[in-house]
Amino acid sequence: MAYVDTKAVWTFAAVIVLPLPLVTLLIIVNYWISWSRVQLISRNNLKHRWVFSCSTVLNGAYAASFVLAHGMSAYPGPPASSAPAAFVDLGVIVVAGLLRWIINAGMVMAAIAISDASRRVRDLFTNFSQQFLELGAYGLGLVVAVILVANPFVLPGVIVAIVVLHRSALVNQYQRASRQDTKTGLASAGWWHEFAEQTLARTDDRGSTMGLLMVDLDHFKRINDTYGHPFGDEVLQAVALELQAEVRDDDACGRWGGEEFAVVLPDVGSEDSLKRVAERIRLRIESLTLQPPGDVGLGDTVNLTASIGGAVYPAKGISTLDELLLAADSALYEAKNSGRNRVCLSPAGPKPVVQEPPGEDLPGIIPPGPSPN
């Protein structure tokens, strides 16, 4: 999750306008307060992590302070207000900010690599682009430093603006996170279920069709037992990418739980159309070849297969999402019991459309119309 680090804003502003002993005190007190607040909520015992985080910021601050002290026209203090000294000071501040960022990010990445020897180098750069948000925080820190010296009475307005933006960004990110499965990036089970309910209602209103697929990886437990859960997570991520590549933008893929995925397809058309989509997904998964970590599977390659069950709505005997899920799940069990690595659709056929004589109800036939949700 990426957001502007307010600690970076204030600590970098402090590095610019305060002497180093006060900067040290501010950073330590800041982290001590943050740790105390977390302790009151979670009672965790991860003091070493907080000490390490604080040390990364202190080391970055000391390096930035050294650059500023030897490059700025007057330090500590804001950049000069007249050219050419102002341009020189601004360039020095940029170099100091980059150095602080490199030291901070480098120490964190080194700690991650040391703590998990099996982690590959490329994994350390996952979501690395989010680190650039901290550089933006340094820019805000420069603005705060200038305002603090030039007109401190304006500072409360800046504080309010930063806090409000920070909180609103967090709310949006938490909402997005609640809709996303952290391991695969697909929809979470809760959000997928909500989307499927809405799709079912729209299908009734429009008189269209809706498809549902349940995708279950074959013998996934063997992969976890043989190569470990971290590699199992890589497998899930690879399958998730294949699912996203195969479905349309209007469809929704979700992680249903464990190694099982669910796909809802609005306006799917006929059972043949749904089966073609399911077969393409099956073949995509079957074509995956993954290499486990060298320390547990040197030279091994892992090939995957999946069993898929599906159902189309509307269908006879299906009027709710739970019934549609049950039909797709039953078809999935049929695919498993039939030998795996295959697609099976629910045997329930389309709901018959009956032309009724005016003013007459045919016994035993439900008149066509919107199905209850």
Burial of 152 (0-12, 13-18, 19+ CB in 10 A): exposed
Q: How far is CA 23 from CA 6, 27, 259, in A?
A: 15, 6, 49
Dihedral sign computed on CA atoms, order 234, 237, 242, 245: negative
Mark whether 134 is an active-site residue: no
Q: Which residues have CB under 8 Å from 320's CB, separation 6+?
A: 200, 371, 372, 373
Question: Residue 166 half-sphere exposure, CB side, CA atoms within 13 Å?
Answer: 16
User: CA 164, CA 219: separation in Å to the nearest integer?
Assistant: 49
pLDDT at site 137:
74
The CA-based angle 307-311-314, given to 5 degrees, is: 175
pLDDT of the residue at 186:
87
The reply to whether the predicted model has a pTM over 0.85 is no
d(CA 314, CA 266): 12
Reference 306, options 272, 251, 370, 263; nearest CA is 263
What count of other Cβ atoms lies within 10 Å of the Cβ of residue 118?
12
* pLDDT for res 16: 87
Please tell me the predicted confidence (pLDDT) of residue 326.
93
Would you write out the chain's pLDDT as a tens digit for each of its 373 residues? 444 456 777 788 888 888 889 989 988 888 888 777 666 555 555 677 788 888 988 999 999 999 999 998 888 888 887 878 888 888 998 898 889 888 888 888 888 777 666 556 666 665 555 566 666 777 777 777 777 777 777 667 666 766 666 565 555 555 555 567 778 888 888 888 888 999 999 999 999 999 999 999 999 999 888 888 888 888 999 999 899 888 888 888 988 888 999 999 999 988 899 999 999 999 999 999 888 876 655 567 888 999 999 999 998 888 899 999 999 999 999 999 999 999 999 875 444 333 333 433 333 333 333 333 3
Backbone angles phi, psi at 4, to 5 degrees: -70, 125
Angle at the Cα of 162 (from 85 to 97), degrees rounded to 5?
40
Cβ neighbour number for residue 178 with a 10 Å cutoff: 10
Contact 131, 101 (CB under 8 A): yes
Q: Which of 259, 279, 334, 356 is catalytic?
A: 259
